[in-house]
Amino acid sequence: MTITARDDIESKTQKIAALINAARRLLADGQIVDLSALQGKVKELCLTIESNPPSQESGIKESVDEIILSLDSLARDVQSQFDGLAGSLGATALQNATKAYQATPKKE
């Protein structure tokens, strides 16, 4: 692996780490996050690594391992937000159904 390729991979891992951190902050603030840019950057990193396999001593493996751990944390954050939204929507739907049932005229 050339120094240029290693620098390119390191740059890409840093950008991915920044995107993950930003996404986690937005999720923590309760905002919806579009992860398509992150997906594209991860794919780009994988293709770069595939075409320029790093040596064991390059330190790239550790950077990629950190990205994987960060992605796992982000996945948990997204799931948590989804579960919260689903719970809220489910409660609202139940309340609406209950109100509708109570408002229905009884047949005698």
* Model confidence pLDDT, tens digit, residues 49-60: 999 887 776 788
Tokens 């991860």, residue located: 42
Contact 33, 23 (CB under 8 A): yes
Mean pLDDT of 64-89: 87
What are the pLDDT digits (tens) for 6-40?
889 999 999 999 999 999 999 999 888 999 999 99
CA of 41: how far to CAs of 11, 37, 63, 66, in Å? 11, 6, 15, 15
Residue 4 confidence (pLDDT): 84
Contact 64, 13 (CB under 8 A): yes
